[in-house]
Amino acid sequence: MTAAQDTGAKPWQTEAPVRAVQKRTVRALAAAQILGGVGVGVSVSIGSLLAESVAESETYAGLARTATTAGAAAVGVPLALLAQRRGRRASLSTGWLAAAVGGVILIGSAVSRSIPLLIVGMLLFGIGSATNQQSRYAAADLAAPHRRAQALSIVVWSTTVGSVIGPNLADPGAAVATVLHLPRLAGAFVLATVCMVLASILLWGLLRPDPLMLSRRHQDAEDRPESGTGAAAARTAEATSQDKEARNGTLRAGLRHLRHAPRAAFAFVTIVVAHTVMGAVMTMTPVSMSEHGMGLTVVGVTISGHLLGMYAFSPVVGWLADRIGHMSTVVAGQAVFLVSAVLSGMGHDSVGVVTAGLFLLGLGWSFSLVAGSAMLSEATPAALRPGVQGTADTAMNVVAAVGAGMAGPLMSWIGFGGLNAVAGALVLPVLAFWAFLVRAR
């Protein structure tokens, strides 16, 4: 038995040149995630402060989060279509560059105190979040099946650095703003913009050859010799038709694939549900803690613990997913979600219990996102992969935004415990889908 057969890898995935490109790709993506993630971290923490400062109204503080989320959701599919046509290199470098343009516009809004510029800038800045999310898929394009989740998880983990640095750029940014004679809050966006430009340049220069295009070429070469027999010729013709449809920029083939590929559909649902559960509970946890008399320092520590659960252990999650299987890891993630809902819902007046619950909320998200994304890549042909992945990211951002918006009214109606109960109930369809797949298999 060859090494490729033993690991489930295709022969070309075990070739030394391909492995070398894969290593270089993951390193480049991880470095770009650190740089670009700084900008994403700035938008989360300082964006609302900038919006309040420009508009001189607390009403506009939430506008920053809404606009960046809307920007991320709006470009998920266009970035994927660009990847289908031109490759990951063009798609990701363009995404970071567009986000940097948004940063420049936000600096202009701070100087001119223009609300229209603020909105446009936040929308474009949100493209950084979408690019950050889609970068994880690029790590899986050339990866062998037994290393796909781990490669993807390294890119997810790299986001930890940016998420920690970004929110702490207020003071360094103020020093930069003083030197450049800009408003105080604009300085953080100067630093974020520089980081995003560097991320774009890094990916444009180092993603050579393009991982998606290289995997397609090998897949095409692998399919070509089989085109002689009738059945094989039919399969090759169907693959060629799907590839042409994908390259022409339509999503019909990708959506059709989700309808007829249960494992891909399961991964899709997992990603969307996990992001919705995480977003809804995380949004309202600081409010609940504040209502129970907990200070901002305690709230900050709790949110830091949540981010730790989301990102810090993703390489371990990726390793586990490659060892026990992507589907088993997803199911484990749903179990973690349920434990988190019980802890947060029943112990919301205890700092320790809420912190533990929110940490597990982030860990359940990591299990679901890493394993679900790896499964989605594995269960989707290379020609259709970017479109399906982009659709998944768009869906998870849109649904999570709706979930976060409904979380406030829901908590005021049934309390924080009730909100966690609803969040726990949301994972039940994922478990039911899993049971169906197991029974069908």
Assess whether 200 and 320 both reside in one domain: no
Q: Residue 285 — pLDDT band, cuts 50, 70, 90?
A: confident
Number of folded domains that form the chain = 2
Rounded distance between C-alpha atoms, residue 242 and residue 232, angstroms: 15
Asked, for residue 239, whether it belongs to a domain, the answer is no
Q: Within 13 Å, how many C-alpha atoms sit on residue 195's CB side?
A: 27
Domain match, 137 and 186 both: yes
Among 59-68, 73-82, 319-328, 330-339, the least confident range: 59-68
Same domain, 122 and 266: no
Residue with the two structure tokens 């969307």: 272
Residues of the domain holding 361: 244-440
Residues 20 and 106 in one domain: yes
Decide which of 215, 236, 267 is a domain's last residue: 215
Give me the pLDDT at residue 385, please: 86
Distances (CA, A) of 247 to 73, 76, 106, 234, 381: 22, 17, 34, 20, 13
Q: Among residues 174, 196, 215, which one ends one of the domains?
A: 215
In a domain, 127, yes or no: yes
Query: Residue 325: which region, alpha, beta or left (left: phi > 0; alpha: psi -120 to 50)?
Result: left
Q: What is the DSSP string of 238-280?
A: HHHHHHHHHHTT-SHHHHHHHHH-HHHHHHHHHHHHHHHHHHH
Last residue of a domain, one of 215, 235, 264: 215
Asked whether residue 149 is domain-assigned, the answer is yes
Q: What are phi and psi of 328, to 5 degrees?
A: -65, -35
CATH number, domain with residue 349: 1.20.1250.20
Q: Of residues 7 and 389, which shows the higher confidence score?
A: 389
pLDDT in tens, 222-250: 655 544 445 444 444 444 455 555 444 45
Query: Of 74, 79, 124, which Cα lies nearest the Cα of 104?
Result: 124
pLDDT digits (tens, 9 = 90+) for 175-221: 999 999 999 888 889 999 999 999 999 999 999 999 999 988 887 77
Do 36 and 196 touch, CB atoms closer than 8 A?
yes
> Could you tell me if residue 233 is inside a domain?
no
Q: Which of 371, 369, 421 is nearest to 400 (CA)?
A: 369
